[in-house]
Structure 1
Amino acid sequence: MDEKIIKTEYSELMQKSYIDYAMSVIIARALPDARDGLKPVQRRTLYDMHELGIRYDRPYRKSARIVGDTMGKYHPHGDSSIYDALVVMSQEFKKGLPLIDGHGNFGNIEGDGAAAMRYTEARLERVTQEAFLSDLDKDVVDFVPNFDETEKEPSVLPVKFPNLLVNGSEGIAVGMATSIPPHNLSEVIDAVKAYMKDESVSTAELMKYIKGPDFPTGGIVINKDELLSIYETGTGKIKVRGRVDIEKGKAGRTNVVISEIPYPMIGANIAKFLMDVAALSEQKKTMDIVDITNQSSKEGIRIVIELKKDADVENFVNMLYKKTRLEDTFGVNMLAIAGGRPETMGLKEIIKCNVDFQYEVNTRKYTTLLAREQEKKEIQEGLIKACNVIDLIIEILRGSKDRSMAKACLVEGKTEGIKFKFKESKIMASQLMFTEKQANAILEMRLYKLIGLELEALINEHEETMANIYRYEDILSRRDAMAQVIMNELDAIKKSFGHARKTQIENLAEAVYEEKKPEEMDVVFLMDRFGYARCVDTATYERNKEAADSESRYVFTCKNTGKVCVFTNTGQLHTVKVADIPYGKFRDKGVPIDNISNFSSDKEHIIAVTSQTSLNLYRVIFVTKLSMMKIVDGGEFDVSKRMVASTKLQEGDEIVDVSVLKEQKDIILQTKDGYFLKFSLEEIPEKKKGAVGVRGMKLTGTDQVENVYYTRPGIADPVIEFKEKQFDLSRIKTGRRDSKGTKPRV
């Protein structure tokens, strides 16, 4: 075969390939269809369960069987995605209307995952069977080939209500994401009926029926006035609070009881909430907490926070709203596949899309039913007519040599080759004009059908068929008749599966929390060589001074209202509030400095740690490995940001020393190759923090500054270890800045 080489621009090919990939993820995996509110994996799982006969009134089947069958037939993207979808569709705390009835451990609201699929069982819920899958046998939707064209699967399920609103959806695609909150089934059905009665209805009028989202976890939506804009545009932020009740506790104390949580708190965020509340007490943000207990069970959420007698309960609850996720935000982005393309839709657009889909589904449904009734009518009329001339029919059958001869006589009146008892019978037989289907039915008719009661039942059945034909034709010919059929079905669904609203919709003022300022006092900051930081009071430090100084890399006194400054080799300055550092006993471990700052031990290492108070009072000297140095006024580092550049570095350079200048007189630089240079600090100019500085020492080859030492008046010069021997730095003679230095003998 001749090869055909196509020359194309590589960037264009990559762009096209990426766009194709992105669209396949958007359409085929991540986003729900606006018509049935399902993603492909959800639709395929439900259809597979329907095909396997795992109905709501039949026994449960192993989840592994369902997942394996779905993956093998319809969704070849791995078993975890299928099982995850199955689990979510069964969790009543995530879905407004669960679609799958799970048996076994399917996880819980506190974030515990479901058991492995080999341990759990599932079956369809009744609502899924009746409102999602019941009409698939009536040619209501198109069936398309599966991935290997060995099976057929529905392109969409004939869902009878806007499932996209009732159950909501969340998904991340390439370059876009969807986040639709769940709503109350009864309210959604009422809104759909209102739209069907008047298609010019506004979003504001629809919201008389749909008050807002109805989260399965309950809670309180506090920005009611913003909901109209959200539902008109399809985007916005819904603020949700947990429900808090106040109860009397033991010994005159007060219990703050959380009985409902914000929807975004589902899962591991409950544990984080408890940790955040405990942290408020540990960090002295509040002194009112006596105890915290999580008494949640299968019956519901119950988190109890016991407060002291004299606690300001209202201020404490407001603190929970401000400082924890008891008040949270649900970001709304109502993005779905409509008309084969992703589209951000408002409330009215979603309802319109579903109503149009209902008309299409019902048109196909009643067209199919009409065709079936007309076929039944044709056969019934043939059987009734045959019963009226049953003697002639029997004579034809007895006189025919085979089935085809008898059928030809019944359909075309051909009597050749048939033996008749009477000439009149032959004349009457030649006048028979049954249709093909009627003739087949007559030939297959059993003798018991000739009983009088059976004939009467056949006539009654024919009358019922004629009534159905008239009804179906009326529905198909009049839009208002079809609308009434759809609304009747919606009423039946609402009656069977509707429930009261769980989420309260209000306009509430923003929580106002008055943070009590801690009494300013001196504390001692301690950080060990592993980077664990903590603070203790000065009395505790004095009692343990020897151990503290020997075990800690950095020890200094600071104010509990101040900040600690961390300088790193990359030239960054990280600031940490002293209030964020654990304060407690001397033997407490503390927390890694990484956890309470933007410092990352993977990318940089600490050069110096000091208090911001010291920096404000003194000047700071910087020395780099390429021997660049400068002095900066410490006030320049009084910044509000958690991370800023403390100095400017040349390419390939890094800081080796940052020191606060108090009593130092001379500086001594030591290089990797063993050169020393001592000179007065007065030779180093003061510059801004954004400056590179001046050269302190001439370096040759790949040599670089390794250590920095200082001399102080009235104090002996440091003695260091040099070439595995003790070396007194007083032996170094004072020189000039920007000279090569000396290489001493030891």
Structure 2
Amino acid sequence: MQDSQIIRTEYSDVMKKSYIDYAMSVIIARALPDVRDGLKPVQRRTLYDMYELGIRYDRPYRKCARIVGDTMGKYHPHGDSSIYEALVVMAQDFKKGMTLVDGHGNFGSIEGDGAAAMRYTEARLEKLTQEVFLGDLDKDIVDFMPNFDETEKEPSVLPVRIPNLLVNGAEGIAVGMATSIPTHNLGEVIDAVKAYMKNDEISTKQLMRYIKGPDFPTGGIVINKDDLADIYETGTGKIKLRGKVEVEELKGGRQRLVITEIPYTMIGAGIGKFLNDVVALVESKKTSDITDISNQSSKEGIRIVIELKKGADVENLTNMLYKKTRLEDTFGVNMLAVADGRPETMGLKKIIEHHVDFQFELATRKYQTLLKKEQDKKEIQEGLIKACDVIDLIIEILRGSQSVKDAKECLTKGVTENIKFKSGISKKMAAMLRFTERQATAILEMRLYRLIGLEIEALMQEHEETLKNIARYEDILNNYDSMAEVIVEDLDKIKAEYGRKRRTVIENGEEAVYEEHKIEEQDVIFLMDRFGYARTIDVSTYERNKDAADTENKVVIACKNTGKICLFTNTGKMHQIKVLDLPFGKFRDKGVPVDNVSNFDSTGEDAVYLCDAEQMRYAKLLFATRQGMIKKVEGTEFQVAKRTIAATKLQAGDEVVTVQVITDNQNVVLQTREGYFLRFAADEVSEKKKGAIGVRGIRLKKKDELEHAYLFEEGTETKVTYGEKEVSLNRLKMAKRDGNGTKTRG
């Protein structure tokens, strides 16, 4: 049996090291892009896999399921959904400045619709991706590393020739950090790179002559131009974005607002939320100028139409949309990326600096590879030219050789022992031959047609071309200016082919100011029927229909239209309803369920008491529960801004039976299900906070429970019905709280 060794380690040290390892793994290998190619590992691996599978821009589309499966099996051993989501985003033109994948099928929409399942969709590389991202992989231009199981090789970075981190931006949440980089215009970014290459002392402010600011695929307007210099200097800040609103004139002097561009932050569910927010503004009476809203967006672009009343204040309404909805939004910038193997927040200049260094590294490796190929070619060409001059001798050597080995030794080292020559002169000449190994192999593999005069001439011209290439490549490798010229020339070609006009407007917009139409305060009557439908009517309408209103409705409360109604439930909660949220109109108009205008849930709660929030300020409330607990609470405790609060604390299995306004000169009568009545003075009810359970009001028999709590003034005749019997509360014997009560037969 082997001796086992226990290594004792401080638990906190193990946890610390493990968590740091995990965090760095997430940061470097999953969530953050590399500053050099602007890609996260999942994006890089997906694009490389498509390249390896030969799914080029000029070839047929292939099923996304094939791409995802191959990527997962070879390079990215994580969930297929994460790979497919990355693939989908790279194909969505409303998320990326330049799409990297050409998607075929349903790849989702700007309104938040998800892409179809990967078994239905197809994809292939975009021309830009193939030429600018993957173009020189065959030239030993980047390092390759083993994949997760060391059965394949994958590039550690793609040889991207544009600053993709700026062009396509990035979003990612790591551990303890997150990246959020806006998209930019390809042409502007290329111009900035060229400017930096001409003068690496250039300032961020000078770079911004070329890069005006972000250029989002959804367009829109950046309204804090003056803040951009600081954002690009530090790499962090907030960009204020607005949608583009146009005014269309209609017949009869009416107008309508048409939103043709939205803030980048609104894509997805934000569009639906914007529509709901506009509807909410109308329903809450914030504006009465909007008559209809419709989303007429299509593949051609965004078109959200807001119909207006005649004579509407268009400017004020537009400003209200900016203030109250996500039509004006903030894009938080944090230009965090992996640089030299560690996460770093970088300004604009730093990102461009890293990109240019990477381009020189790529160019150096590319032209070293090309130079080596040309030098190898030159060596072979010189050997073939020399061989053509002594072709008769070479033929004699080949005919006199017993093996390829003997012929090769003669060509490379002048060894003639094992070869038969026709003459001694030939033998002497053969002994002087000193071809290189590579030249000798080329001579032995040379075909006879190469001896034709024209072919020899072509070989000479090819040799001259090779010498020119070698001189050019050596100049590029040895001269900074020559290499910079090649890189700039390449960038100009990319800009000419793929550049496009800016979509986002950059300006210093004025603060959106709108005058909120103040609602005139008036007295109204709140009505709620037995089905929980509530509405408000004016006082004069109520007076004319008082009998019908009192008969047909469960709750009738006089209140202000600017106030709130408090709704207490059996579960011990209090929900608030804004009176303005309720429909106001004619007596016979239908109301709305209180569920729709508050957090009240009629399927799981019962309303036990409703009152006007303002009137409650001067009152005290009596709470009584099923298990016989009672308390008094100051009404001011319920003067809160929250829509829902806990109005009282309940014991397990208990619920609120009643909530009522109570005064000290009243009497309290508690009645149980079994018919026990207990009468005592109201001042015996302890005053507690809303978070308290309260005190025991009546001692309950086994399986009995409190059913009602009645309040009445001393000396007044008050009758209630229990079973089939009428009970006069004022004739009940006065007792003390926490008694057993008197049994009454129903």
TM-score, normalised by the number of residues in structure 1: 0.90
Q: Which residue of 2 aligns with 1:481?
A: 482
Going from structure 1 to structure 2, the CA distance change for 1:332 and 1:281 (only over 3 Å counts) comes to same
Distance 1:481-1:117 versus aligned 2 partners, 3 A rule = same
Change (3 A) 1:25 1:665: same
Are the equivalent residues in 2 in contact too, given 1:627–1:704 (CA < 8 A)?
no
1:91 is displaced (CA, Å) by: 1.1
Say whether the 8 Å CA contact 1:581–1:591 is kept in structure 2.
no
Counterpart code for 1:216? P
Deviation, structure 1 residue 310: 1.1
Query: In structure 2, what is the equivalent of residue 210 of structure 1?
Result: 211
Displacement after TM superposition at 1:510 (Å): 1.4
What does residue 344 of structure 2 align with?
Answer: 343
Partners of 2:621 and 2:660 within 8 A in 1: yes
Report the Cα distance in structure 1 between the residues aligned to 2:178 and 2:576, rounded to whole angstroms: 35
Q: 1:703 to 1:179 in 2, by over 3 A?
A: farther
Q: Residue deviations 1:36-58, cap 9 Å, x none?
A: 11111111111111111111122
Quick check: 1:133–1:157 contact (8 Å CA) kept in 2? Answer: yes
8 Å Cα contact 1:249/1:306 also seen in 2: no
Name 1:717's counterpart in structure 2. 719
Task: State the aligned residue count.
Answer: 741
1:590 paired residue number = 592
Q: Do the aligned partners of 1:669 and 1:705 also contact (CA within 8 Å) in 2?
A: no
Is the CA contact (8 Å cut-off) linking 2:583 and 2:591 kept in structure 1? no
Question: 1:697 aligns to what?
Answer: 697
Query: CA shift at 1:738, angstroms?
Result: 4.5
| Residue 184 of structure 1: how far off its partner (Å) | 0.6
Contact 1:237–1:329 (Cα < 8 Å) also in 2: yes
Deviations 1:651-700 (A, max 9, x none): 9998654322379832233568976532121334667x578597353658
Q: Are positions 1:737 and 2:725 aligned together? A: no
Say if 2:1 is the partner of 1:6: no
Map Cα deviations across residues 310-365 of structure 1 (whole Å, 9 max, x no partner). Answer: 11111111111112211111121222222222222221222122222212222221
The 5 A counterparts of 1:7-406 are: 7-406=8-407
Give the residue type in structure 2 aligned to 1:305: I
Identify if the C-alpha distance between structure 1 residues 648 and 412 changes in structure 2 by more than 3 Å, giving closer, same or farther. Answer: same
Counterpart secondary structure, 1:463: helix
Deviating more after overlay: 536-545 vs 675-684: 536-545
Distance of 1:16 and 1:312 partners within structure 2: 62
**Aligned equivalent of 2:499:** 498
Relative distance call for 1:289 and 1:24 in structure 2 (3 A) is: same
Residue aligned with 1:712, SS: strand
Change in Cα spacing, 1:389 to 1:80, as seen in structure 2 (3 Å) is same
Query: Displacement of 1:33 after TM fit?
Result: 1.4
Over the aligned positions, Cα root-mean-square deviation in angstroms equals: 3.3
For 2:398 and 2:345, how far apart are their aligned partners in 1?
A: 68
Q: Secondary structure at 1:19's aligned position in 2?
A: helix
Counting only pairs closer than 5 Å after superposition, residues 631-710 of structure 1 correspond to structure 2 as 631-642=632-643, 657-661=658-662, 665-670=666-671, 676-684=677-685, 689=689, 692=692, 695=695, 697=697, 706-710=706-710
Residues 641 and 404 (structure 1 numbering): CA distance in 2 closer, same or farther, change over 3 Å?
Answer: same
Describe the shift of the 1:410–1:492 C-alpha distance in structure 2 as closer, same or farther (beyond 3 A): same
CA deviation after TM superposition for structure 1 residue 633, in Å: 4.2
Describe the superposition over 1:609-650 as per-residue Cα deviations: whole angstroms up to 9, x where unpaired. 322122134332344677665444434543445456656889
Tell me how far 1:456 sits from its aligned partner: 1.6
Amino acid at match of 2:719: D
Question: What's 2:560 paired with?
Answer: 559
In structure 2, distance between residues paired with 1:138 and 1:369: 8
Judged with a 3 Å threshold, the aligned counterparts in structure 2 of structure 1 residues 66 and 395 are, in CA distance, closer, same or farther, namely same
Letter in 2 for 1:556: I
The aligned counterpart of 2:579 is: 578
Checking the alignment, whether the CA contact within 8 Å between 1:711 and 1:718 is kept in structure 2 is no
Separation (CA, whole Å) in 2 of partners of 1:451 and 1:402: 27
Query: Residue type matched to 2:718 in 1?
Result: A
**Contact 2:223–2:507 (Cα < 8 Å) also in 1:** yes
Task: Summarize deviations over 1:471-512 as a string: whole Å, max 9, x none.
Answer: 222222222322222222111111111111100011112111
- Helix, strand or coil at the partner of 1:620: strand
- Look up the equivalent residue of 1:734 and give its one-letter code: M
| 1:89–1:98 contact (8 Å) kept in structure 2 | yes
**CA displacement at 1:219 relative to structure 2:** 0.6
CA pair 107-641 structure 1, distance change in 2 beyond 3 A: closer
Q: Check the 8 A contact 1:534/1:591 in 2, yes or no.
A: no
- Matched AA of 2:721: V
- CA distance, structure 2, for counterparts of residue 344 and residue 533 of structure 1: 55
Give the secondary-structure state (helix, strand or coil) at the position aligned to 2:719.
coil
1:528 Cα shift? 6.9
Instruction: Please give the secondary structure, in 2, of the residue aligned with 1:718.
Output: strand
1:638–1:159 CA distance, 2 compared to 1 (3 A): same
| Counterpart Cα distance in 1 of 2:6 and 2:606 | 54
* Residue 414 of structure 1 pairs with residue 415 of structure 2: yes
Instruction: Note if contact 2:179-2:334 (Cα within 8 Å) is conserved in structure 1.
Output: yes
2:300 maps to a residue whose letter is E
Matched-pair identity in %: 66
Identify if the C-alpha distance between structure 1 residues 323 and 146 changes in structure 2 by more than 3 Å, giving closer, same or farther: same
The alpha-carbon distance between structure 1 residues 693 and 415, as it changes in their structure 2 partners (threshold 3 A), is closer
1:423 is displaced (CA, Å) by 1.1
What do residues 571-615 of structure 1 show as CA deviations (whole Å, max 9, x unaligned)? 66544422234556867573564x655678999876543221221
Deviations 1:525-554 (A, max 9, x none): 456788776555667878998998788765
Cα distance, 1:267 vs structure 2:
1.8
CA change 1:367–1:584 in 2 (3 A) is farther
Report if aligned partners of 2:672, 2:708 keep a CA contact under 8 Å in 1: no
CA distance in 1, matches of 2:701, 2:15: 46
Counterpart of 1:69, as a letter, is D
Offset of residue 706 of structure 1 = 4.0
Asked whether the equivalents of residues 536 and 582 of structure 2 are also in contact (C-alpha less than 8 Å), the reply is yes
Structure 2 Cα separation of the partners of residues 485 and 200 of structure 1: 21
Query: What are the ranges of 5 or more consecutive residues in structure 1 without an aligned counterpart?
Result: none
Structure 1 residue matching 2:288: 3-state secondary structure: coil
Residues 145 and 156 in structure 2, CA contact (< 8 A), matched pair in contact too: yes
SS at match of 1:122: strand
TM-score between the two structures when normalised by the length of structure 2: 0.90
Deviation at 1:60, TM superposition (A): 1.6
1:146–1:152 Cα contact (<8 Å) kept: yes
Identify unmatched segments of 5+ residues in structure 2: none
CA distance in 2, matches of 1:348, 1:447: 59
1:669 touches 1:678 (CA, 8 Å); kept in 2? yes
